Structure 1
Amino acid sequence: MLPMRRAILTAVRTKHCRFFSASQSNWNARKGLVLGVYEKEGEDGSHLTEAAARWDKALSGKLSELLKISGPALKKGRTRIFYGVHQDFPCVAAVGLGKTTASVCGAENWDTCKENIREAVSAGCRQLQDLEVSHVEVDGCGDAQSAAEGAVLGLFQYDELKSKKKTKVTAQLHGSTDLAGWEKGILYGEGQNLARLLMEAPANHITPTVFADTIEEKLAPYAERVTVHKRPQAWIEEHQMGAFLSVSKGSEEPPVFLELHYNGCPDRTKAPLLLVGKGITFDSGGISLKPSSGMDAMRADMGGAATVCASIVTAAALKLPINIIGLAPLCENMPSGKANKPGDVVRAQNGKTIQVDNTDAEGRLILADALCYAHTFKPSAIVNAATLTGAMDVALGSAATGVFTNSDWLWEKLYTASVVTGDRVWRMPLFQHYTRQVTDSQLADLNNIGKYSRSGGACTAAAFLREFVTVTHWAHLDIAGVMTNKDEIPYLRKGMSGRPTRTLVEFAAGLAHQG
């Protein structure tokens, strides 16, 4: 006991406590280990995961002793760093997993155990990254997929354009046989990170053309199962997508209608799942110009397209046995002499006319044509995702994606997927009350804003989209509230969130495996 106590030179009991051994001066900080620790039920103490217990036993209880003498029980989401504990791992992060009894929580609508693992592993990996550790082995903590997601999501940071970058860290599974779960979690995390990368990049770096090229490049390894069509303006005009064209014409950047076909099911007679994503690569508001404060965040107004496309990339990587078609109308919404003017009337592909009373309500215009086109594939279901309304952020904040759907079956599938991923959804109303507000238009069949524009904005936007839907199973995901992360999701850094990519992937996987 005494030599071990002398090895503890510093103990700072904060959220991230670090404990330095006397050998730290000779420490090579290039390799680290993350181990999980549970709180003991009903008492002050710790309970090690299976992998951590095996490692502790091999060290004659050294880890347990260090945890005991270094402070109170390690709480959920907190970390302690130990140096010089093992020659193979000069740096070890013990991470708090909370209580062993954590499970699916009806009040929170997620699996608390999975969320605790993601949070803890993310915290441990970040601490080691800050110490410039370049390789980390991660305890699977009884759920290797969640551990992998925590590691991959927690380590991501958009620093592509900075001279000084974060240490690049590779993570691998430690002390578990669930390699399949780990690899699945890696792909889920990388999918969300792809969406984050696209959303975070400046609008002059991710134009409609560059967006489409990037997705095509990401899908290239799966060319035997994927077809990519980058439809140019001439094709859009030929298909009479007047609503989409009316938004794009204000910009010097040419529009692109990105169409992805993933054929994972050998039975080509099965109706495909249709995913549609809003792809405004920069939204100035057009003539109805947005306030300058915070306008830079509108580089992520293509979050719907980013999450949809990233989910298809992930589905291809997972080889999901399902056919998916992805559609992403891509353009900028800019003010110019060619831009939509308030009061203009445009015609969608299905012939309906739309009075554009607010040019900043442009997302529903481009989605209207995409939804019309989606029906030509006779899909089993259509799910569209869009950073559509600030009203959605007001209603739910960043807690959950708002879902508007005409199908109880589809809602249940999306909800079940979100409980697994922890990236929650919440059902919103599609009352005729809202439909009447968008069909009461002075000059056209529809108005692109509700009759009472400040009331129920997310609901009237959804009602507008429903006017272009005839399938039995359709859902609109308004992701405006979950577009960014400040500190709400512990395993995501501040910035664009890439949500709800993992929920879309889990949803598609659920459909694929139900036969």
Structure 2
Amino acid sequence: MTVNIKSIAQPELHKSDCLIVPVYTDGKLSSAAQSLDHAGHNNLTQLLKRGDISGKAGEALLLPHVTGIKAQRLLLLGCGDNSEISPADVKKIINTLLEQLNNAHIKSATLLSESLSVAGRSPEWLSEQIARAIALSSYSYNATLSKKPTKPSFKTLTLAQKPNAKLKSAAATGSAVGLGMNVARELGNLPANICTPSYLAKQAKNLARNNSALKTTILEEKKMRELGMGSLLSVTAGSSEPAKFIIMEYQGAAKKQQPHILVGKGITFDTGGISLKPGAKMDEMKYDMCGAASVMGAMNTLVELALPINVVAIIAAAENMPNGNATKPGDVVTSMSGQTIEVLNTDAEGRLVLCDALTYAERFKPQSVIDIATLTGACVVALGSHATGLYSNQDDFAAELIAAGEASGDRAWHMPLWDEYQPQLNSNFADIANIGGPEAGSVTAACFLSRFTKAYRWAHMDIAGTAWVSGPKKGATGRPVALLSQYLINKSLINKSQG
């Protein structure tokens, strides 16, 4: 799917499978829409007067034939207030547009977008959002279906406005981010008998193939033991699937430049281990690797855009299963950092793989480290499905990520990481316990990770509420690929300006 940008002086003479005309609640028509109305003998004005469409955001009316214009069809698209569309309504408007086009089996269309104005946002932002949505709409899961779903018919959208380099770049960015999100969605949606730690490792290698800027290294369990990753290995002890420690190094800038690091939790299936989860919805624990999937998606976007930045992705991939070798509640393990951990609950396993990955990250002397994990149900209770929980050992770093989330529409919320919570992790038998009791579960999980991140600028993103949706539309969302990508884009722009 592609997005083109083209000036169209006379929309009534423009040939298209479908011409999309924004209409607003005040009934006023843009200059382009007025030209169409005049060519069609005031048919648009009559439709609005009759109330066939009110202009409310998310409304649509498809006209299969309109006299006086060259386009085969006309789609009236409700966009709300004529003065400025709210950013919250943009997604609703774009989704309605794509749904109408696909339902009508339209392959290409032109949107009279020059009149569209989004409150507090630039035309480039809107171009990026449209391109991302189009890329996202191209995805449908079919890997394990005997009858493959029909692919969306819609292929090309032309934005009718004066083209410039910024608009074209924004559209390219939106497409790349959407494709990265689709990579994350596909990995998340695959069943755990396919998407194993070994499968993740293979996909990481495939991404690096034929790309000189990217190098992938896979550490096996033997090497993990040599490095002292006793915490990570305690999680995989009960599984017949070997753990994989995946390192992807992208070099888009000078070698001397310190990298930014993304660390993904890759628990490809989480039974809870000996602290076994309830059976209801346990199938959704295939999504417990969505942190790793989002890292893979962000790296895909990075490669697509060839950003001038150095990035290292680290994925700690393992299964959490119960058998005779599995770690037991009360066991004490030694992490790569040398800190001992009392495993009070084997279902708090994400932090056990992440802490060794975060220790490993120190060797790269990073500018910043972000770990992404479906870590706690407590975060879902706190924030629901709208915002990712964000913790950081530096408030200015958290502010950067919050801003990247606002800009991309992939929002996060800054949560507390106060010293007052740390005593909940005290243990009589180890340096630290892996759970902190029923209170503030997401906070104490972040507090646990903070014990392993004192050497660098660090943020933790708890995506347990945002990584997938349940119910009839169950599936991975691809979040927070957009936020991560925006953060890396922002950093690459700084590199470019200083270069």
For normalisation by structure 1, the TM-score amounts to 0.84
SS of the counterpart of 1:514? helix
Q: Residues 244 and 57 (structure 1 numbering): CA distance in 2 closer, same or farther, change over 3 Å?
A: farther
Deviation track 1:399-454 (CA, whole Å, cap 9, x = no partner) reads 2011111112211211111111111110101111221111x10211111010xx21
SS of the counterpart of 1:281? strand
SS of the counterpart of 1:330? strand
Q: Does 1:259 align with 2:247?
A: yes
Q: Residues 476 and 75 (structure 1 numbering): CA distance in 2 closer, same or farther, change over 3 Å?
A: same
Counterpart-to-counterpart distance in 2, 1:248 and 1:55: 64
Q: Does 1:207 align with 2:187?
A: no
How far did 1:189 drift?
A: 1.2
Query: 388, 406, 423: which one pairs with 1:419?
Result: 406
Letter of the structure 2 residue corresponding to residue 166 of structure 1:
T
SS of the counterpart of 2:280? coil
Q: Does 1:82 align with 2:69?
A: no
Counterpart-to-counterpart distance in 2, 1:473 and 1:175: 43
Q: Residues 138 and 237 (structure 1 numbering): CA distance in 2 closer, same or farther, change over 3 Å?
A: farther
The answer to whether the Cα contact below 8 Å between 1:118 and 1:149 also exists between their aligned partners in 2 is no
Query: 219, 222, 225: which one pairs with 2:213?
Result: 225
SS of the counterpart of 1:168? coil
Structure-to-structure mapping, 1:82-481, within 5 angstroms: 82-85=63-66, 90-102=72-84, 112-113=86-87, 115-138=88-111, 140=113, 141=116, 142=123, 143-162=126-145, 163-169=147-153, 170-176=155-161, 177=163, 178-221=167-210, 223-265=211-253, 267-438=254-425, 440-450=426-436, 453-481=437-465
How far did 1:304 drift?
A: 0.7
Counterpart-to-counterpart distance in 2, 1:190 and 1:419: 20
SS of the counterpart of 1:278? strand
Letter of the structure 1 residue corresponding to residue 65 of structure 2:
G
Look up the match of 1:71: 52
Counterpart-to-counterpart distance in 2, 1:34 and 1:437: 60
Q: Residues 55 and 229 (structure 1 numbering): CA distance in 2 closer, same or farther, change over 3 Å?
A: farther
Q: Residues 336 and 33 (structure 1 numbering): CA distance in 2 closer, same or farther, change over 3 Å?
A: farther
Counterpart-to-counterpart distance in 1, 2:241 and 2:39: 61
Counterpart-to-counterpart distance in 2, 1:180 and 1:54: 30
Letter of the structure 2 residue corresponding to residue 209 of structure 1:
S
Counterpart-to-counterpart distance in 2, 1:208 and 1:51: 54
The answer to whether the Cα contact below 8 Å between 1:208 and 1:330 also exists between their aligned partners in 2 is yes
Counterpart-to-counterpart distance in 2, 1:226 and 1:54: 51
Counterpart-to-counterpart distance in 1, 2:51 and 2:283: 45
Letter of the structure 1 residue corresponding to residue 297 of structure 2:
A
Counterpart-to-counterpart distance in 2, 1:464 and 1:36: 53
Aligned CA-pair RMSD? 2.5
The answer to whether the Cα contact below 8 Å between 1:117 and 1:150 also exists between their aligned partners in 2 is no
Counterpart-to-counterpart distance in 2, 1:65 and 1:179: 36
Look up the match of 1:17: none
Q: Residues 157 and 74 (structure 1 numbering): CA distance in 2 closer, same or farther, change over 3 Å?
A: farther
Look up the match of 2:120: none
SS of the counterpart of 1:99? coil
Q: Residues 461 and 512 (structure 1 numbering): CA distance in 2 closer, same or farther, change over 3 Å?
A: same
SS of the counterpart of 2:275? coil
Letter of the structure 2 residue corresponding to residue 83 of structure 1:
P
SS of the counterpart of 2:61? strand
The answer to whether the Cα contact below 8 Å between 1:247 and 1:366 also exists between their aligned partners in 2 is yes
Look up the match of 2:11: none
Counterpart-to-counterpart distance in 2, 1:157 and 1:402: 28
How far did 1:146 drift?
A: 1.3
Q: Which moved more, 1:353-362 or 1:131-140?
A: 131-140
Counterpart-to-counterpart distance in 1, 2:247 and 2:42: 57
The answer to whether the Cα contact below 8 Å between 2:20 and 2:109 also exists between their aligned partners in 1 is no
Q: Give identity over the alignment, percent.
A: 35
Q: Residues 337 and 37 (structure 1 numbering): CA distance in 2 closer, same or farther, change over 3 Å?
A: same
Q: Which moved more, 1:188-197 or 1:384-393?
A: 188-197
Counterpart-to-counterpart distance in 2, 1:370 and 1:395: 26
Look up the match of 1:495: 475
How far did 1:217 drift?
A: 2.1
Unaligned runs of 5+ in 1: 1-30, 104-111
Letter of the structure 2 residue corresponding to residue 257 of structure 1:
F
Counterpart-to-counterpart distance in 1, 2:305 and 2:188: 23
Letter of the structure 2 residue corresponding to residue 307 of structure 1:
S
The answer to whether the Cα contact below 8 Å between 1:413 and 1:510 also exists between their aligned partners in 2 is no
Unaligned runs of 5+ in 2: 1-15, 117-122
Q: Residues 56 and 310 (structure 1 numbering): CA distance in 2 closer, same or farther, change over 3 Å?
A: farther
The answer to whether the Cα contact below 8 Å between 2:47 and 2:53 also exists between their aligned partners in 1 is no
Q: Residues 475 and 39 (structure 1 numbering): CA distance in 2 closer, same or farther, change over 3 Å?
A: same
Letter of the structure 2 residue corresponding to residue 203 of structure 1:
A
Q: Residues 139 and 367 (structure 1 numbering): CA distance in 2 closer, same or farther, change over 3 Å?
A: farther
SS of the counterpart of 2:319? strand
How far did 1:161 drift?
A: 2.6
The answer to whether the Cα contact below 8 Å between 1:129 and 1:167 also exists between their aligned partners in 2 is no
